[in-house]
Amino acid sequence: MRGLPVRSLRGQLTAGLVTLLALACLAVGVTTVFALRGFLLGRLDDQLSASGGRFAASLEHDNDHDADNRPDTRGQADATFGARLLDGTVPRAGVVDDATDRPLDLTGSDRRALAGVPTDGSGHTIHITGLGEYRVAAVTGDDGDILVTGLPLHPVEETLHHLEGLEAVLFGAALVVTGVAGAVWVRISLHPLQRVTARAAEVAGMPLASGEVAMPEPLPDTDPRTEVGQVGTALNHMLARVEDALSHRQASEERLRHFAADASHELRTPVANIRGHAELALRQPGPVPGAVRHALERIDAESRRMTRLVDDLLLLARLDAGRPLEHEQVDLTRLILDATQDARAAGPAHHWLLDLPEQPVAVTGDSHRLQQAIGNLLANARVHTPPGTEVTVGLSTGQDQVILTVSDSGPGIPEELQDEVFGRFVRADHARSRTTGSTGLGLAIVHAVVTAHGGTAEVTSRPGRTTFRLTFPRS
């Protein structure tokens, strides 16, 4: 069907209906015209044989100049044609005009046509100059001459034309009515299909990837006797299966979140204990062998790192669970100033620049979490770039949003990492991360915090320019 102007099922059905009707009309039209033509010609032939060549025979006496012997036009219809052929010549031909005979001058082709008519009395159609198409029949007269009688065909043709015109009008009207009514009918029949399509589109547009998903009501069109009902039933089944799968996924996600939260929570205390004991041991007065001191210092450092990791995991688990955040007015300008000051102290070899608006900018949210997110971005700009790198923290306000940017002139994030950099445990250099203590959770937390505030986090990066851009709705 491709390439045809009509593409929709509705259009195709209507067009098919109209086309079939047109073909049927054509068949009926042609059949009736041919049948009527056959019937009328048969009747004409009957008339011809009934006249029995009387008019033609009477032409024989025409030369007698006798009033009583005038050609016999009695009972002959107007325009009846008669001719008498003798030895291949036509001595006399005439036509009945106003109940009297009018002699005719025949042309050569007329004579040839007349001579060609078989003398078995059957009807034949010939053309006579000046008279038009005639149905003629020839019989052999008493004295061996051939008597040809003819009746005009034009009343037959007229009747047929009349029928053709009538059929054209009737069939045309039938096609128009069928087209309009058919389109309406097809539209009504296919209406439930639109409902199915709309439902499928609705589900396709739903965010199924995460969280709790409420499937729409099942479709009412489920009559198995109709095609639409079958589609509706299949769709309902599919939606039920999808809903099942989603609730399974939801449950297992829930379990996993609980597990992560519980595990992190449970780990906190032992880790804190290890750290406490290591600190205590390090503070012991008296000489400690160098190797033992080193081991204690390593335990202390690793347990600090583990504390941070556990805290990060717990925070992520809580944000995943949709734990409500604080809902307070947070002065972002203030947060940025503090965080930059801390960063400057931690990374004095970097150049820290600020690009803030005159007026303080505030958003609604959890100041502690926001501080953590900004801190993570600034830590990245410090840790993952060489000394001397320029870092700019910018803040601007759009129509209904607040935009926070952290840009640095460092080497940038590897291309293949950029799409997933906000994922968990994603980092460029796994080997180095053991020594720098980087876990790959920093940006995951940034993303989770911003999302929990109804905002978005994006990154663009190329060597010499890396920009993280956080967008918050304006409070």
Ligand X SMILES: Nc1ncnc2c1ncn2[C@@H]1O[C@H](COP(=O)(O)OP(=O)(O)OP(=O)(O)O)[C@@H](O)[C@H]1O
Name the residue nearer to ligand X (CB basis): 189 or 433: 433
Task: Pick the binder of ligand X from 32, 226, 405, 439 (CB under 6 A).
Answer: 439
Name the residue nearer to Mg ion (CB basis): 82 or 442: 442
Shortest distance, position 389 Cβ to ligand X, whole Å: 9
Please report whether residue 428 would count as binding ligand X according to CB under 6 A.
Answer: yes
**Residue of minimal Cβ distance to ligand X:** 442
Residue 227 backbone dihedrals phi, psi, to 5 degrees: -65, -40
CB neighbour burial string for 93-103, b if at least 16 within 10 angstroms, e if fewer: bbbbeeeebee
Given ligand X, Mg ion, none, residue 408, with its beta carbon under 5 to 8 Å by kind, binds: ligand X
Please report whether residue 376 would count as binding ligand X according to CB under 6 A.
Answer: yes
Name the residue nearer to ligand X (CB basis): 441 or 452: 441
Task: Pick the binder of ligand X from 239, 410, 449, 452 (CB under 6 A).
Answer: 410
Tell which residue, 192, 263, 275, 274, has the closest CA to residue 227: 192
Given Mg ion, ligand X, none, residue 410, with its beta carbon under 5 to 8 Å by kind, binds: ligand X
Given Mg ion, ligand X, none, residue 372, with its beta carbon under 5 to 8 Å by kind, binds: none
Shortest distance, position 379 Cβ to Mg ion, whole Å: 5
Given ligand X, Mg ion, none, residue 428, with its beta carbon under 5 to 8 Å by kind, binds: ligand X
Dihedral sign (CA 183, 184, 190, 191): positive
Name the residue nearer to ligand X (CB basis): 180 or 346: 346
Name the residue nearer to ligand X (CB basis): 117 or 443: 443
Please report whether residue 380 would count as binding ligand X according to CB under 6 A.
Answer: yes
Task: Pick the binder of ligand X from 93, 139, 443, 470 (CB under 6 A).
Answer: 443
Name the residue nearer to ligand X (CB basis): 187 or 462: 462
Residues in the chain: 475
Distance CA 444, CA 392 (A): 21
Task: Pick the binder of ligand X from 408, 409, 455, 470 (CB under 6 A).
Answer: 408
Task: Pick the binder of ligand X from 71, 365, 442, 455 (CB under 6 A).
Answer: 442
Residues in binding contact with ligand X, number by CB under 6 A: 22
Task: Pick the binder of ligand X from 190, 228, 421, 449 (CB under 6 A).
Answer: 421
Shortest distance, position 444 Cβ to ligand X, whole Å: 6
Name the residue nearer to ligand X (CB basis): 196 or 443: 443
CB within 8 A of 37, min separation 6: which ones? 156, 160
Given Mg ion, ligand X, none, residue 455, with its beta carbon under 5 to 8 Å by kind, binds: none
Given ligand X, Mg ion, none, residue 163, with its beta carbon under 5 to 8 Å by kind, binds: none
Name the residue nearer to ligand X (CB basis): 221 or 408: 408
Using the contact rule CB under 6 A, the part of the chain among 36-44, 126-134, 330-338, 419-427 near ligand X is: 419-427
* Token pair 């801190």 in the structure block, residue: 375
Given Mg ion, ligand X, none, residue 17, with its beta carbon under 5 to 8 Å by kind, binds: none
Using the contact rule CB under 6 A, the part of the chain among 44-52, 59-67, 233-241, 420-428 near ligand X is: 420-428
Shortest distance, position 442 Cβ to Mg ion, whole Å: 3
Shortest distance, position 458 Cβ to ligand X, whole Å: 13
Distance CA 413, CA 159 (A): 91
Which stretches of the chain bind Mg ion, using CB under 5 A?
A: 380, 442
Using the contact rule CB under 6 A, the part of the chain among 41-49, 64-72, 213-221, 442-450 near ligand X is: 442-450
Name the residue nearer to Mg ion (CB basis): 397 or 439: 439
Q: Can you read off the two tokens belonging to residue 16?
A: 């098919």
Distance CA 218, CA 226 (A): 17
Given Mg ion, ligand X, none, residue 156, with its beta carbon under 5 to 8 Å by kind, binds: none
Shortest distance, position 243 Cβ to Mg ion, whole Å: 39
CA angle 21, 23, 28 (to 5 degrees): 90
Cβ atoms within 10 Å, residue 424: 16
Please report whether residue 466 would count as binding ligand X according to CB under 6 A.
Answer: yes
Q: 118 to 137, contacts with ligand X by CB under 6 A?
A: none
The widest CA-to-CA distance across the chain, in whole angstroms, is: 174
Question: Which residues are near ligand X by CB under 6 A?
Answer: 376, 380-381, 384-385, 408, 410, 412-413, 421, 426-428, 433, 438-444, 466
